[in-house]
Structure 1
């Protein structure tokens, strides 16, 4: 070889060495002690289909921590869509000492309207949905004119509710949704607020009940110095301005024995200390802490719900379909974490594999709701009929996808809790 060829060979060798050094590090391992016990409990209970598992002990620990954080400064309103299971809702209500609920759909309202509830709608329902409630509601000691607050967001919707009250000879309590910075609708100006107060004041069948200001944007704002604090201060200042506007109408404000000034949510509840006009916070997902709620303000809470899915097929080595098998070979050669494939029962949920560690989906194979494939290095030591655990990204809707919830406590599955029907 001449000098030029030697230099070229050396350069190619250096490039190959650099490329090799860039290969992904090998990841993975078997279940840790917690998930080994959880897997054994599912096996002992004879559960062999995708199942939502609730850790009751972690749920209780989360509830205790949330109450410690609130320290009695503000009562809690439980968000039903985030914990859509009657037994779970009863459990949380008992732990938190509250019968206040926030609901988001007609079916949930019909299911939850019972004697001991205090219900606030968390989104404005169309007037026909409200009418359907009164036509289908079967009593059970629940008094809507005293225990239910319909959420209204515009003068037009309020006028629709006024016509509903007149046409059906009803007395409706209405809570005004206000925009405190999220810009997802709601009352954005004092002029609009005044026009809605005029409607309420002129109609004896309507009773103003309070305000609801949701501040989800505060937790989503980039954590630049002072930016979140500024957004939260703005939200509370806006809330105070709207509350003052109602207080300036004694005929409206005085009709509510105790106005409901609802604020906050799971990501922001700790920002409220009772020093402002807000007099309750809404919360649900924090009780079970899906991964979408991993934040500094919720760092003292534990994940309490998981999806358990059996392994149907364990493939070593992992192969892509006929015609592109060579790509699978290249992938395995490049990334040791793609050496084995595990096809599970179901998949494609709003969730991510969490145990055993080191599993990931296949971008080349694609997602599947029937038999999702997960790739791994083999360190996971998974075999057919073993269990893979996913952590949901959210609790609403996901908790309703698997039938009854398996309640895990003291190393065993103790109960199966039915869920509410899936609704929009």
Structure 2
């Protein structure tokens, strides 16, 4: 992003009647990123948006409308509860990690009112062990409802889920609980494909191996447990890091999960996502401007530090700090490591001559945690502030 871009944003922020640390969502870049996801997206594949990376009702509504899909992946029960009254009868929610059965029961016994969304038939619970499968069967019988369950399979990440060997037994057990559980498909996550050092395994080789393992699982259930199968089964996987491989490769998935890439925090500056633009920034006002950089106990070195390093000639204390984020404007802005990190008032040094009330900008390294640290999200269009967006309830 150019200096002019951040200077225009600063003017927009200064024109409002409040100055706080703000999480900005650039709608122009967001639109480009959504278009990049959809470009050449296989017509026969489903697209599911990952809520933990996009934890705002308005943000999700905006994305779902532009992409024309209402499939969501949820990782947090309070988010699921908050979404219930907001989703339509055509939405579908897949849990992205296994929930303790007590949490699932709490969800069903504390449901908000909804006119359209059916929290039983439109939710797929993720199951990673046979013990959890039986626990959910017991819950379904207790509730008097038939619950949908998706099985997590290990296709190389080794973070839990069923191995191919354990899957046969799980499917056999599921077969005996068809009166209270409905098999809805598989979920296999594969971020290791692009994160493994090339010296150990290339991305193409890792992708091929993960794809082969997933296909073995699909073949197992379709050939040996046909009574569990139907035309609506979901074979979900992928993610932002491997999205492009699934778009261009011979994937066995019929649905791909995507989230972070459309905001592109800095962790996702990877070769497979070069077509995507940063769409989220933290803007925070400068509270104090001091000459020199004075560090407790070594004040006598202040002049020398400024002489040896020009940007230490001024100190700027910002509103807040210590976010999982990297400074991006002014271009050479850095947090002062000698002074120490602060969530209250971080000390920033830069060669730029700024004033109290000017803004410093940071780029989050991830979206799922950082966005929730702010009371609202602030959309911007052409660097002009729009009506703020709320965040999903996190408790």
- Quick check: TM above 0.5? yes
Task: Indicate how the Cα distance of structure 1 residues 330 and 223 shifts in structure 2: closer, same or farther if over 3 A, else same.
Answer: farther
- Displacement of 1:73 in angstroms is 5.0
Structure 2 CA distance for aligned equivalents of residues 417 and 152 of structure 1: 33
2:322 match: 348
Which residue among 243, 246, 249 is the counterpart of 2:221?
A: 246
Structure 2 CA distance for aligned equivalents of residues 47 and 101 of structure 1: 34
Contact kept in structure 2, 1:211 and 1:260, CA below 8 Å: yes
CA offsets 1:334-374 (integer angstroms, 9 cap, x no match)? 32232221100000001111001101111111000000011
Which residue among 345, 367, 377 is the counterpart of 1:371?
A: 345
Aligned residues: 389
Structure 1 CA distance for aligned equivalents of residues 42 and 310 of structure 2: 50
Residue ranges of structure 2 left out of the alignment (5+ in a row):
none
1:217 match: 192
TM-score by length of 1: 0.88
CA offsets 1:235-268 (integer angstroms, 9 cap, x no match)? 11110111111112344432x3311000100111
State the SS of the aligned residue for 1:272: helix
Structure 2 CA distance for aligned equivalents of residues 337 and 201 of structure 1: 67
1:302 match: 277
Contact kept in structure 2, 1:31 and 1:356, CA below 8 Å: no
Contact kept in structure 2, 1:208 and 1:252, CA below 8 Å: no
- Displacement of 1:121 in angstroms is 0.2
- Displacement of 1:71 in angstroms is 4.9
Matches within 5 A, 1:95-110: 95-110=66-81
Contact kept in structure 2, 1:197 and 1:252, CA below 8 Å: no
TM-score by length of 2: 0.94
Matches within 5 A, 1:237-386: 237-254=212-229, 256-273=230-247, 275-321=250-296, 323-377=297-351, 380-386=352-358
Task: Indicate how the Cα distance of structure 1 residues 112 and 163 shifts in structure 2: closer, same or farther if over 3 A, else same.
Answer: same
Contact kept in structure 2, 1:312 and 1:343, CA below 8 Å: yes
Residue ranges of structure 1 left out of the alignment (5+ in a row):
1-29
- Displacement of 1:327 in angstroms is 4.0
- Displacement of 1:157 in angstroms is 0.6
Give RMSD over aligned pairs: 1.8
For the pair shown, the structure with the greater C-alpha radius of gyration is 1
Task: Indicate how the Cα distance of structure 1 residues 136 and 350 shifts in structure 2: closer, same or farther if over 3 A, else same.
Answer: same
State the SS of the aligned residue for 1:158: helix
Structure 1 CA distance for aligned equivalents of residues 93 and 53 of structure 2: 15
Which residue among 210, 227, 232 is the counterpart of 2:207?
A: 232
